[in-house]
Structure 1
Amino acid sequence: MKISNYSLNDLVWHFSQDYLKAYQHRFEHLPITHIVEDWASPCEQGVYKEEFSLWHPIKVDEELTFDNVEEALEVKLHDDIKQYFTAMYSDSLDASCSEGDLSLLFAWSSKDFSRLQENIIGHILMKTKLKQKLTIFFAITDDDDHIISLDNETGSVWVEKVGCDPHKKIADTLADFISQLTPRIPPKAIEND
């Protein structure tokens, strides 16, 4: 896929659809997640084995913004991170790249988007307190101490250890990074499968 022909929103959406197809090919049903009674999502598409929701990513059809975060912290967030987190609602999507395995983070619902904003505020305050370069996380790795983040000034993508400055650049842009990912589907839908 030639990156220049697609917007970041398109790349994120295409990756989510590739993930969905690969998951359905392996398990012959939509992805599943544990049902949480007071954490409903427009992504949910029914019940699976009583304790799981079937789900799929959906495009956001309401206006989500980071205006409140930017005003409260007097900082301008990079447009790429704002586009990424407002493109769709989804559970996390597992992926692989040349650097290893990761999970892309998204908001599950508008309620979860508010929680995401609070987590980003906490991350920014930590970075400010530590006098570190401002980054915004958007993925976690299989190593609990490392996250994938976007450099707020340049838009480049980095690996960073939590609480530390980014230490390894892995893409020039978020679009470049998303375009190199492949879906990583679990070997089993649930532990008892």
Structure 2
Amino acid sequence: MKNILITYLTLILSFSYSYSQDKWEVEIKDSTAYDIGFINYWRHVKPYSLKITNDSIVVNKEYHDPILIPTDLRLNQESYYELKSNDTLYQLTVKRVNYTNIEYLIKGKTKNEVFFSREGMAILESSFYLGSEGVYEKNEGEIYGMSDYNIELNGLGEIKLLIPVGTDEIIDYIERQGENKLYLSFNKIEK
């Protein structure tokens, strides 16, 4: 019995020691290509290993099953969107500046007079891979999940862009201030 206990204890200690020797591996090809909050999220998750390269996130060396960062908007190229409602015209300009960040500018005009303006950076929700924030149904049976890009503007409540994965035809803008909600659904235009 004593020998069995010693053997059992030796096995437990050796497994514990070898497990503690495993190193957490993090490899990020270019940290400037991602928002720092995005990188910190993935470091906080602490998988056995993490590799972020271009639009791919490989967790625990699952190279055959990477998490893909949405890249439907072209890098460093402006895209233009519009929403017309009666005599009101909303215009949206977006530019993806890296894999997680999108610069945006929204102008709302009535009779060529600007009454609404928003400008800043929208950042991909770090947990985007867990599920879509919304859906865009182009046609029956043609449905796209939408990724959430968070916007921080002092005191303006919850603000986000919703961008479909697989198409760049539309972008939704949502702004919540208390009980008030502004929802704008933009369609892509060519300039």
TM-score (norm 1): 0.30
TM-score (norm 2): 0.30
The structure whose residues are more often strand, as a share, is 2
**Which structure's relative contact order is higher, taking Cα pairs within 8 Å and 6+ residues apart?**
1
Q: Name which one, 1 or 2, has greater alpha-carbon Rg.
A: 2
The structure whose residues are more often helix, as a share, is 1
